[in-house]
Structure 1
């Protein structure tokens, strides 16, 4: 019974955080009120405060929970880079496309827009989000590229440098075309970015 109660409390907290992120993304930090978050979550306002002490804590925890969710999607995309077969390009393109979808989703764009908009008031939040998303992604990609190199499917190189360069090829065009998160990039355009980045990367790192 105690386990069910604890599970219910965790679920309720997640429900509140999801509602909080949706409301913050819609209105921004200053214009959001806790009552609206409670309404969207389907709970009483005191219940929100029972789980999270104040609006600032709500904002921080909602963004960090979203960062972890976005990170799970990008890491899942990286983990598909396993056996490349005779032609590595299709696997790399599909992985890159999934990664770009996660990064350019409404949730991903709202996450970074909110974090940087409130950087003055939440000094460490943007850095923590970067740690949980971009840095965690780069480390996972470097690990995957190292494994592919050991398997002879990529030429010998520094996997951290290779990961950094591949991500730059992907995220550079993404940031430029999205105009700092203001525009949703069509799927066909994401596929084009994934293909161009992969072609450039494999010209440098495919085994000779």
Structure 2
């Protein structure tokens, strides 16, 4: 077995590298991060990193997509828990939005990376940005759209374009809080978060709720 194959067969080494990379990228950004610093944080050699990843660009992409997929899976579970079966539309939308916001705190290292991507967008390779947009939580409204479409089919919402409606709900609730907290870096009091979400859901329902509901 070659040394490269041996290293690739060590998932513990890969996890150490990606964990260290996520931390270093989140702390100093994509441009300033070095493979040397990541190797030191992971307690491995540079050679070990290059046995797993072709270069810093591939490492950053893998780390960003790994985190995005984890967050997306969590958000999908939250959507299904709150929106698959509607009992009280207004309260269900509020509870969904609050849980979706709370999920940000479960992935602090990933959302540090999100802040890096937004701050350094013009210095990050376009291929990474494109892959990130396709997989990232920023497109979660596209996965929210089918739920809103099914709610509309029950006669509870009046929707022509489910993607647009999902984007509006996201902007009125989750995006507002994420912008204020810088993705959890500067927490807000729970009552402020709830007040913002409730107001956002009310605005969404004024625009989309079926008359008489």
1:15 and 2:16 equivalent?
yes
Change (3 A) 1:119 1:9: farther
- Contact persistence 1:119–1:126 (CA under 8 A): no
Number of positions where the alignment pairs a residue of Structure 1 with one of Structure 2 = 202
Runs of 5+ consecutive residues of structure 1 not aligned to the other structure:
none
RMSD: 2.9
Superposed structure 1 runs of 4+ greater than 4 Å apart:
5-8, 180-183
Q: Which residue of 2 aligns with 1:70?
A: 71
Alignment of structure 1 residues 1-208 onto 2, 5 Å: 9-10=10-11, 12-80=13-81, 81-85=83-87, 87-103=88-104, 106-116=108-118, 117-134=120-137, 136-174=139-177, 176-178=179-181, 183-186=185-188, 188=190, 189-207=192-210, 208=212
Shift, 1:167, TM fit: 1.4
Change (3 A) 1:93 1:39: same
Runs of 5+ consecutive residues of structure 2 not aligned to the other structure:
1-5
Q: 2:172 & 2:137 partners in 1: Cα distance?
A: 14
SS of structure 2 residue aligned to 1:198: helix
Shift, 1:144, TM fit: 0.8
Q: 2:74 & 2:166 partners in 1: Cα distance?
A: 17
Change (3 A) 1:64 1:20: same
Shift, 1:57, TM fit: 2.0
- Contact persistence 2:18–2:63 (CA under 8 A): yes
Q: 1:152 & 1:71 partners in 2: Cα distance?
A: 28
Shift, 1:159, TM fit: 1.5
1:122-173 deviation per Cα after TM superposition (whole angstroms, max 9, x unaligned) = 1232232222125641221111111122233434543122112111212452
TM-score (norm 2): 0.78
